[in-house]
Structure 1
Amino acid sequence: MAFIAPSARSIVLMLAALLTAPAVLAHAHLQHQYPAADAEVAAAPQALTLNFSEGVEANFSGVTLTGPAESVIETGKAKRNEKDQTQLIIPLNQPLKPGRYTVDWHVVSVDGHKTQGHYNFSVK
C-alpha cells in the first residue's frame, strides 16, 4: 500500500479553512424579531425586540426606525435583556401610527464583531 503525502498547498488551504471558519461564525446574526419582518400588526408595539445568534453589547448597538413618509421615529436607548444577552430591546417613545416602518439595526457582538441589517413591518 502506497502512502501519498499531502502537498504543501493542500495543507495551507486546509489550515486557512479551519482558521477562518470560526471568524465567519462569530458574528451576531439577527434570528428573529418583533414585530416580525414583513408582518402587519394590528396594534402598535411598545418596543422592538431583536434576537441574535450570540450576545450583543447594548452600548454599541441600536436602531434607526423610519416611518411613513420617510420620517425618523425617535426611540429609547437600546437595552439588553438581563436574562438573555442575545436579545436587544428598543423602547418606543410614542405609539406608532398606521403605516409601513423600516428598522435599520446595527450591533456589536460580545466578541467585538459588527453586523447590521434592516427589515420592514406595518401597523394597521
Structure 2
Amino acid sequence: MTISDSFRPFLRALATGVAAFAVASTAFAHALPTARDPAPDAEVAAPTQVTMRFSEPLEPAFSKIVVSDAAGRQISAGASAVDADDRKAMHVALTPSLAPGRYSVHWNAVATDGHRTQGDYGFIVK
C-alpha cells in the first residue's frame, strides 16, 4: 500500500511540527539540581562550602545559595557564585567550624534562557 500524494503534505507538516516542538522544549528547559554537596539529608562532618550542579547553565546575576542554621541565621561566609569555568555549578563558602546540628540550604537558579527555579533542602553536621 502506498501513501497517496494528497496525504504526503499532511505527513510532512506533522513531522515538521513534531521536530519544532522537540527543539523548542529543549530550548526552554529549567535549571534543576543534578548534584548537591552536601547531599540532601546527609549527615556529614562540618563542610567548608555547599556546591550544587544544575542541568542548565546559570545566569550569575540572579542565581544564589543561602545556608542557614536551625535558628534561621545565615551561616554563609559570603555571597554565592556561579563557577566562571562551569556555569552549571554554583557554590557558597560556609563559616568555619560549623557546630553540630541541622542546616538549611535555599537556592534560586535562573537559567541563561531566563527560567527561574528554586528549592530548599537540609543536611546535618555530626
Please classify the TM superposition score into its range, dividing by the shorter chain length. 0.7 to 0.9
Give the superposition deviation at 1:17. Answer: 4.4
Distance 1:92 1:14, change over 3 A: same
Match for residue 21 of structure 1? Answer: 25
The normalised TM-score by structure 2 is: 0.76
CA distance in 2 between counterparts of 1:35 and 1:94 reads 15
Larger Rg: 2
- Show CA shifts across 1:51-85 (max 9, x none): 1112112221112323224x222321111223211
Contact conserved, 1:64 with 1:72, CA < 8 A, in 2?
Answer: no
Contact conserved, 2:66 with 2:80, CA < 8 A, in 1?
Answer: no
CA distance in 2 between counterparts of 1:58 and 1:94 reads 25
Contact conserved, 1:35 with 1:45, CA < 8 A, in 2?
Answer: yes
Name stretches of at least 5 consecutive residues in structure 2 with no aligned partner: none
Match for residue 121 of structure 2? Answer: 119
The normalised TM-score by structure 1 is: 0.77
Contact conserved, 1:106 with 1:117, CA < 8 A, in 2?
Answer: yes
Q: How many percent identity over aligned positions?
A: 36
CA distance in 2 between counterparts of 1:59 and 1:49 reads 17
Within the candidate set 47, 53, 56, 1:54 is matched to 56
Match for residue 74 of structure 1? Answer: 75
CA distance in 2 between counterparts of 1:30 and 1:72 reads 24
